[in-house]
Homo-oligomer: A and B are copies of this chain.
């Protein structure tokens, strides 16, 4: 399967009824602050609280019955783990999730709540990959990667597909970039319907491998990434990068303090709980008002899974950064 605009349309049909068609909300105050018309696609209101549900549902529902019966597996301590567990449960197949010993108890509980089996390993990439290989060999489960996968990219692109179909005449679409599943899918969906629209990735300054990779013209790994955006610390994927190179207008990097300010604005002004990674699109818009002036700008709020006891503007949260 190659991933293109048609693959996103097919994914949208496949996952219809398995995901929420999330609302698009607006805010007059934020419009004034940016000097543009902003349309927020609320993937924080998606099942499991993040767009990751779209890709996971598409991957799980794409499996042939003889594959699916053996279940699915991945390594993740983030939103992809919950999404895959939830999608597997909906199809009635087993899921194995490899998580590091350092994963917060609340994340383990969420995955276990969907009936997935958790396999704990040391918190290194080598241990995670070795443990995953062992699980796949033992069970016959299909590995579903978090972003470097055509089924995942196609699924994530359905958020922008809904947005662009609902809001006519967008000039810009902004979304976060970590591994690039959402950004690649967003670019394919948006440019498929609006060839002249500009798709922009928003990336933390402290995890700017995609911006650096675009500047160099080849994929660079994230080196010792540090950011309050815990969902955006991964390196851009092999399948994701060429799509981003071809279809994305720019990647704008944003310092953490601007991300936190944008996150607080979303809580205060839009009454939405958005995680730091989810607020970075608004933060990027607020840092680029000259370019966006007068435009119609779609912004994907990618997720809302945040520790409510450690909100980043509270003094007690200081240790998180």
Q: Which of A55-63, A187-195, A263-271, A281-289 contacts B (4 or more CB under 8 A)?
A: A263-271
Q: Are B311 and A271 closer than 8 Å at their CB atoms?
A: no
Q: Are B308 and A267 closer than 8 Å at their CB atoms?
A: yes
Which residues of chain A from 11 to 54 have a CB within 8 Å of any chain B CB?
23, 25, 28, 44-45, 47, 49
CB neighbours (8 Å) of A311 from chain B are: 308, 311
A166 within 8 A of B: no
A93 within 8 A of B: no
A320 within 8 A of B: no
Q: Are A45 and B270 closer than 8 Å at their CB atoms?
A: yes
CB neighbours (8 Å) of A313 from chain B are: 308-309
Q: How far is the CA of A268 from the CA of B273 in the complex (A)?
A: 8
A270 — nearest CB in chain B belongs to which residue?
B45
Q: How far is the CA of A273 from the CA of B27 in the complex (A)?
A: 15
Q: How far is the CA of A308 from the CA of B272 in the complex (A)?
A: 12
CB neighbours (8 Å) of A264 from chain B are: 308
Which residues of chain A from 291 to 317 have a CB within 8 Å of any chain B CB?
304, 308-309, 311, 313-314
Q: How far is the CA of A103 from the CA of B268 in the complex (A)?
A: 18
A163 within 8 A of B: no
Residue of B28, B49, B272 near A273 (CB, 8 A) is: B272
CB neighbours (8 Å) of A268 from chain B are: 273, 308
Q: How far is the CA of A313 from the CA of B316 in the complex (A)?
A: 14
CB neighbours (8 Å) of A25 from chain B are: 23, 45
Q: Are B308 and A49 closer than 8 Å at their CB atoms?
A: no
Q: Are A304 and B23 closer than 8 Å at their CB atoms?
A: no
Q: How far is the CA of A273 from the CA of B270 in the complex (A)?
A: 8
A268 — nearest CB in chain B belongs to which residue?
B308
A 234-272 to B, binary, CB cutoff 8 A, 1 in contact else 0: 000000000000000000000000000000100110111
**What would 14 more interface pairs be, CB under 8 Å, given A45-B271, A271-B274?**
A23-B23, A25-B45, A44-B271, A45-B270, A268-B273, A268-B308, A271-B272, A271-B304, A272-B272, A272-B273, A308-B313, A309-B314, A311-B311, A314-B314
Chain A contacts to B: CB under 8 angstroms? 23, 25, 28, 44-45, 47, 49, 264, 267-268, 270-274, 304, 308-309, 311, 313-314
Question: Would you mind naming 19 contact pairs between A and B with Cβ atoms under 8 Å apart?
Answer: A23-B23, A28-B47, A44-B271, A45-B271, A49-B271, A264-B308, A267-B308, A268-B273, A268-B308, A271-B273, A271-B274, A271-B304, A272-B272, A272-B273, A273-B273, A308-B313, A309-B313, A309-B314, A314-B314
